[in-house]
């Protein structure tokens, strides 16, 4: 297993994708045998520690995008 650790805030989005050209049968075999684990660690000051554990043959990339939290629209009635 490989381990990637990062910090995320409220409104951040985590996305798991399969890259084009990856063998779906190999991917499914890895997922069935080892799976992917996402561990949410301590939350301090609105930030959570996220740990991703994935099989070594999988390529794990981190792409950072900033998203604003969804805001509630006031009811006009």
Output the pLDDT for position 42: 85
How many other CB atoms are there within 10 angstroms of residue 54's CB atom? 20
Summarised one tens digit per residue, pLDDT across range 33-74 is 989 898 888 888 888 888 888 888 887 777 666 655 555 566
- pLDDT at 77 > cutoff 60: no
Q: What is the pTM of this model?
A: 0.61
Q: What gap in Å lies between CA 40 and CA 37, rounded to an integer?
A: 10
Are 7 and 44 in contact by the 8 Å Cβ rule? The answer is no
**Higher per-residue confidence, 14 vs 27:** 27
């Amino acid at each position: 297993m490989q381990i990637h650790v990062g910090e995320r805030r409220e409104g951040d989005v985590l996305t798991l994708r399969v890259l084009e050209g990856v063998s779906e049968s190999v991917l499914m075999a890895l997922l069935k045998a080892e799976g992917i684990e996402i561990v949410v660690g301590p939350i301090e000051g609105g930030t959570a520690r996220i740990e991703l554990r994935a099989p070594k043959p999988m390529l794990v990339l981190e792409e950072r995008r900033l998203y604003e939290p969804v805001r509630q629209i006031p009811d006009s009635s």
